[in-house]
Amino acid sequence: MYIPAEVQLIALIFLLYLHDCIVLAYRNEVVAYRLPLGYRVTFPRNSASFGKRLMIRLPLGTPFYPAYRLFWSPSPPPSEDAAPDAAWVGAFHAREAALSARLLPGTIALALCILALMPLGLYFLPILYALALLPFIYLFIFFQLRQLARFHADYPLAREKFWLLVVESLICPPSAINLVRKVSLSLPVTVDLVAFADALLPPEARQGVVNGVIERIEESLLFAEDPDAPPVKMAQGYVARLRTRDQASGVRNQREGRSGFPNA
């Protein structure tokens, strides 16, 4: 079956972009991403490869919104005192606003050129005319990398990660569309999932996150070989503390109202 070269190039562009939307997460990891009305937390699928679960971000929405990798651990006990204070929340939002201000304009321009104009040009125009867009695409990529360097100066990334993003964007232009998401996933979040939910999610979504953590820990305990092993006891105690804490704070949660999205 003959497939025109133009169609093959269009398919390659979208396949590279979709591949870049994949996130691999361990069982005790989730991805929280920002939407216009608040944060949304998603748990990975149950199927795993090499100990990690596959998560596919929404291809059309996530390039424009930051995402964060969060985890839970039975080691630190969840408590009201562990919740981030107003200073932490303010600093978190300031870093997120700086990231969006630096990289969002270039992200929109690159998405328009690579995912819309380039495929349309390849399909309706001679291939050489469509490829004339490449200089403009690389102009936006260099602009993005300049903005990334400025953000890196204010909120340092790991040196290896910074240069990996630079090389990846230059070699594979579709991956440059996801710079906002990839940079935010690389930024450290100094609190665990439960504390993050306490600080930034509304009561309904917060309860959904806690229920998801409890469900996954209890599933893993079903396969424990030694029920008296210290890690098993620690996990059981963590679940018990989560249940007790939520029962104690149920009345307070009903009275609170915080902007956000319910857990999916």
Give me the sign of the Cα torsion angle 108, 114, 117, 119: negative
| Residue 123: pLDDT over 80 | yes
**pLDDT, tens digit, 9 for 90 and up, residues 59-90:** 555 678 899 999 988 775 555 545 688 899 99
**pLDDT, tens digit, 9 for 90 and up, residues 149-202:** 999 999 999 999 999 999 999 999 999 999 999 999 999 998 989 999 989 999
Q: What is the DSSP string of 17-54?
A: HHHHTEEEEETTEEEEEEETTEEEEEPPPS-EETTEEE
Q: How far is CA 33 from CA 5, 30, 242, 259, in A?
A: 37, 10, 23, 14
The pLDDT score that the predictor gives to residue 62 is: 64
DSSP 3-state percent helix, strand, coil across the chain (nearest 5): 60, 10, 25
**pLDDT, tens digit, 9 for 90 and up, residues 217-254:** 888 888 888 888 888 888 888 888 888 876 655 544 45
Question: What b-and-e string marks burial along 131-140, b requiring 16 or more CB atoms within 10 Å of the CB?
Answer: eeeeeebeeb
Q: Hey, what are 214's tokens?
A: 């409890």
Mean pLDDT on 206-222: 88
Per the model's pLDDT, the better-predicted residue between 76 and 127 turns out to be: 127
The pLDDT score that the predictor gives to residue 177 is: 93
The pLDDT score that the predictor gives to residue 259 is: 40
Q: Hey, what are 205's tokens?
A: 């979504």
Of the candidates 22, 75, 17, the one whose C-alpha atom is nearest the C-alpha of residue 52 is 22
Predicted confidence band of residue 57 (pLDDT cuts 50, 70, 90): low
Predicted confidence band of residue 260 (pLDDT cuts 50, 70, 90): very low
Burial of 66 (0-12, 13-18, 19+ CB in 10 A): buried
Alpha helix (H) ranges present in 79-187? 86-112, 118-124, 127-131, 134-154, 159-171, 173-176, 179-186
The pLDDT score that the predictor gives to residue 263 is: 42
Q: Going by C-beta distance under 8 Å and a sequence separation of 6 or more, which residues neighbour residue 176?
A: 110, 140, 141, 144, 168, 169
Q: Hey, what are 77's tokens?
A: 């006990």
Contact 113, 165 (CB under 8 A): no
Average pLDDT, the chain: 83
Q: How far is CA 181 from CA 21, 64, 100, 236, 259, in A?
A: 9, 7, 10, 34, 21
**pLDDT, tens digit, 9 for 90 and up, residues 5-24:** 788 888 888 888 888 888 88
Per the model's pLDDT, the better-predicted residue between 83 and 258 turns out to be: 83
Euclidean distance between CA atoms 42 and 123, whole angstroms: 36
